[in-house]
């Protein structure tokens, strides 16, 4: 039986909206699929503890994220992803705003994500900039 996969489009907001799409198998995380496709994403721990790999859900299964800029949101990040373990680096309000930890998250549907260092800095101030 063939593995099921979901297409995940990665979008770098700080790189003039560069995009790449990767097929993520049902038993792998977005980070693992990106690495398999030679796509570099920031990460630190691979356990959901540090938040370096944070992405922001923009669209899932053709619907805008519930955390979108307008009120058309129809899908929640918890409907779009399952986690291998608890995403300790994200607070409830971050998850409600559509943030997801790519090192431990597997998509349940095809989706589009904002990724890269600028997404992580949306959550925490960077003292080095």
Per-residue pLDDT of 10-63, as tens digits, reads: 999 887 778 999 999 989 999 999 999 999 999 999 999 999 999 999 999 877
Reduced to 3 states (helix: H, G, I; strand: E, B; else coil), residue 65 is strand
pLDDT tens for 89-113 read: 999 999 999 999 999 999 999 999 9
Could you give the C-alpha distances from 45 to 3, 50, 104, 126, in angstroms and in order? Answer: 27, 6, 10, 18
Kindly report the number of other CB atoms within 10 A of residue 29's CB atom. 25
Instruction: Specify the pTM.
Output: 0.86
Contact of 65 with 112, CB cutoff 8 Å: no
- From CA 3, how far away is CA 56, in angstroms rounded? 26
Residue with tokens 């992405």: 55
* DSSP letter (8 states) at residue 13: G
């Amino acid at each position: 039986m063939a593995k099921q996969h979901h297409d995940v489009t990665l979008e770098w907001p700080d790189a003039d909206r560069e995009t790449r799409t990767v097929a993520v198998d049902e038993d792998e995380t977005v980070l693992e699929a990106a690495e398999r496709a030679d796509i570099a994403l920031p990460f630190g721990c691979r356990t959901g503890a540090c938040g370096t790999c944070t992405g922001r859900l923009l669209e899932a299964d053709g619907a805008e994220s519930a955390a979108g800029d307008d009120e058309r949101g129809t899908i929640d990040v918890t409907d779009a992803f399952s986690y291998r373990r608890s995403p300790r680096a994200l607070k409830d309000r971050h998850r409600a705003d559509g943030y997801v930890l790519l090192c431990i998250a597997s998509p349940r549907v095809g989706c589009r994500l904002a990724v890269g260092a600028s997404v992580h800095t949306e959550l925490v101030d960077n003292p080095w900039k």
